């Protein structure tokens, strides 16, 4: 991974004037809030549905505007790399085909900032489902607050579907 400093990899001042920025900021803050909620809290709502080695996956059900959503949360320890390195490989499109096995095509439609991109992805057709695509923004940010004691590195990548008149739903 290129060794850019944290200062070189951040949201530029102009990004905060982009029409998507209020949504990006709000959704990322909300996702971080939920990420820091403990999964063992009695009222957290998280239910473990898969476990493999040190990786544990949780889901919870919530209703937003009358639609049932199932947010997912994964907790995993990866030795030998930092949180920033993990997020970088998850965020950077040049590595996406290495881990996204259903991906057929990935285009960057807009670079809002070095840490904020708008993507159009086409996924392979997997029978019996139709081929699908996804239009979304992806934002990577350093996490400054709320880290567990002893944590030396905190980063998050947040992906969220979006709409664009230039790319209507197919």
Question: Which has the closest alpha carbon to 135: 168, 111, 99?
Answer: 168
**141 by DSSP, 3-state: which?**
strand
pLDDT at 146: 79
Tens place of pLDDT for every residue, the chain, 170 residues? 444 444 455 666 677 888 899 999 999 998 888 777 777 655 667 888 999 998 889 888 888 888 888 888 888 878 888 889 988 988 898 888 888 888 888 889 999 999 999 999 888 888 888 888 889 999 999 998 877 777 777 899 999 989 877 776 66
pLDDT at 80: 87
**20 by DSSP, 3-state: which?**
coil
pLDDT at 113: 92
Tokens 């850019």 appear where?
4
pLDDT at 115: 92
Report the alpha-carbon distance of residue 35 to residue 61 in Å, rounded: 15
Q: What is the DSSP letter of 147?
A: P
| CA distance to 10, 46, 101, 165, per residue, from 15 (Å) | 10, 33, 31, 20
Q: Which two tokens stand for residue 93?
A: 């499109």
pLDDT at 42: 59
> Taking the CA atoms of the chain, what radius of gyration do you get in angstroms?
17
pLDDT at 4: 47
Counting DSSP H helices and E strands in the chain, the numbers are: 3, 9
pLDDT at 1: 44
**What pTM did the predictor assign?**
0.79
Report the alpha-carbon distance of residue 115 to residue 16 in Å, rounded: 12
Report the alpha-carbon distance of residue 108 to residue 131 in Å, rounded: 19
Q: Which two tokens stand for residue 41?
A: 């809290």
């Amino acid at each position: 991974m290129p060794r850019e400093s944290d200062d070189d990899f951040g949201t530029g001042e102009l990004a905060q004037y982009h029409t998507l920025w209020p949504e990006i900021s709000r959704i990322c803050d909300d996702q971080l809030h939920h990420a820091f909620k403990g999964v063992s809290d009695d009222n957290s709502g998280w239910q473990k549905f898969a476990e493999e080695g040190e990786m544990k996956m949780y889901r919870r059900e919530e209703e937003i505007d009358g639609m049932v959503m199932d947010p997912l949360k994964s907790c995993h320890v990866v030795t030998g790399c930092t949180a920033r390195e993990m997020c970088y490989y998850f965020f950077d499109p040049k590595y996406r085909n290495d881990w996204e096995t259903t991906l057929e095509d990935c285009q960057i439609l807009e670079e809002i900032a070095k840490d904020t991109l708008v993507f159009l992805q086409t996924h392979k057709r997997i029978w019996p489902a139709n081929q699908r695509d996804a239009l979304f923004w992806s934002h990577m940010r350093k996490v400054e607050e709320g880290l567990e004691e002893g944590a030396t590195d905190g980063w998050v990548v947040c992906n969220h579907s979006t709409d664009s008149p230039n790319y209507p739903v197919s």
